[in-house]
Amino acid sequence: MNGIVIIGAGECGTRAAFALREAGYSGSINLVGAEPHLPYERPPLSKPASGAVQMKLICTEDMLKAAGITYIKGLSALKVDTDAGTVSLSDGRVLAYEKLLFATGARPRRLACPGRERALDFRNHADAEAIFANAHAGRSVAVIGGGLIGMELASVLRGKDIAVSVIEAAPKPLGRAVPSRFAEKLHARHVAESVEFHLNHGVAEITDDGVILTNGRAVRADLVVSAIGVAPDIALAQEAGLSTGNGILTDAHLRTSSPNVFAAGDCAAVSQPDGGHMRFETWRNARAQAETAACNMIGAGEAFAILPWFWSDQYDLGLQVVGLPQPSHQSVPRATADGELEFYLDGGRLVAAAGLGVGNGLARDIKLAEMLIAAGVSPDPVALTDPKLNLKALLKSARAA
């Protein structure tokens, strides 16, 4: 038997390898990772504890050994032949597979302006080391992109007394994934922390002195970081003839257009019950899809279905969002001791919730909201705004009903 090959040793690929063993798979597992480290988590890169870049390992060498996972470190998969069932590696080796998982993740989007090579990316441990090695108190950094990663980086840099400018082409930062109520609060906090925003402006050029905006204005910076989002890493899949779009297209079971090949994590665009494909760029999605793909590679027929969830830490504030809040939803705010929650109703039914508060204080409420969403409740919006309404009791009565 040829066993299972996993391309990409990030959160998703590594979790899939261990999930295969937990599900009882006893064949060979080859985990191929292009980076020169043991598998590590990305979220801590933009949340460095005590100012130092963290390398939070997903597993140790011993754990890989104990699970019988062959980790092929620092090598890339260069070619997949789905007819032959083989993967060619950058050292010339060819691995045969029975089942293959693409967990190739995503790559930073590239700026198109002159001088773009002067900007640092922020995706992996090497990027984080390059940024923080050059970011010292009294210096200045221009962050291009006011999304979650750019804003997290801005908050860390302000904590090191570094002057930060955020350049964002949209009229507001955090517009893509964060509900507007909390995007505005986080924006205001950054302003209060003296982050300088240049909104509604593109980048015309990056020079040795900083960034020239499309309106001609110069933003001085010792260091420029590009955080303009990521694109799914699909080149290898495309060359192998798999169907792709905004990601490697899969069915609900995470199977690609080639029957023995699966895709999961940031690189996968998964078929949705109401049509189209959805791709997520979050830690929990990578883990959950890894587990579904692992089970399905060894014969289960599980459709992938979890509520999207992500978090972000900026200054002392923690944001959590569960479900997919939409502007068309009825939003129901609720004050808590640690911050603020907002619930989102669609046709009266609870479909999403978000919270912003100090530290991890809202985690329990968001967890309860997640369970309420799963229970399919249609709560009274007025009652929901009342902090005295006990969410646990609401869940209990919903389950009893």
Interacting residues toward ligand FAD by CB under 6 A: 7-13, 32-35, 42-43, 45-46, 76-77, 103-106, 122-123, 149, 233, 236, 265-266, 281-284, 286, 310-312
> Distance (Å, rounded) from C-alpha 293 to C-alpha 299?
10
Sorted by sequence, the CB contacts under 8 Å of residue 118 that are 6+ apart come out as 206, 207, 208, 224
Contact yes or no for 205/211 (Cβ under 8 A): yes
CA 134, 140, 146, 152 dihedral sign is: positive
Helix (H/G/I), strand (E/B), else coil: 277: strand
Return the number of the residue (55 or 375) whose C-beta is nearest ligand FAD: 55
Q: In terms of CB distance, is 147 or 379 closer to ligand FAD? A: 147
Residue 384 CB, shortest distance to ligand FAD, in Å, is: 26
Specify the residue, 151 or 345, whose C-beta has the smaller distance to ligand FAD: 151
Minimum separation from the CB atom of position 287 to ligand FAD (A): 8
Specify the residue, 19 or 213, whose C-beta has the smaller distance to ligand FAD.
19
Least Å from the CB of residue 1 to ligand FAD? 23
Is 306 or 398 the residue whose CB approaches ligand FAD more closely? Answer: 306
Least CB distance to ligand FAD at residue 105 (A) = 2
Closest contact distance (angstroms) between CB of 229 and ligand FAD is: 11
Smallest distance from ligand FAD to CB 108, Å = 8
Q: Please give the Cα distance from 158 to 193 (Å, whole number).
A: 7
Cβ atoms of residues 264 and 294 within 8 Å: no
Shortest gap between Cβ of 290 and ligand FAD (angstroms)?
8
Residue placing its CB nearer to ligand FAD in the complex, 182 or 332: 182
Query: 77 to each of 74, 134, 235, how far by Cα in Å?
Result: 10, 32, 11
The sign of the torsion formed by the CA atoms of 173, 218, 121, 254 equals positive
Shortest spacing between CB 3 and ligand FAD, in angstroms:
17
Q: Which is nearer to ligand FAD, 142 or 345 (CB)?
A: 142
For ligand FAD, the closer CB: 256 or 377: 256
- Exposure string of 138-158, with b = 16+ CB inside 10 Å and e = fewer, is eebbbbbbbbbbbbbbbbbbb
* CB 226 within 8 Å of CB 120: yes
Q: Which is nearer to ligand FAD, 129 or 209 (CB)?
A: 129
SS3 50: helix
**Least Cβ distance, residue 32 to ligand FAD (angstroms):** 5
Q: Which of 190, 210, 212, 200 is nearest to 168 (CA)?
A: 200
Residues near 322 by Cβ (< 8 Å), separated by ≥ 6? 307, 308, 309, 352, 353, 354, 366, 369, 370, 373
128 sits in which H/E element: helix 125-133
Type and span of the H or E element at 187: helix 180-192
Side chain identity at residue 42, one-letter code: R
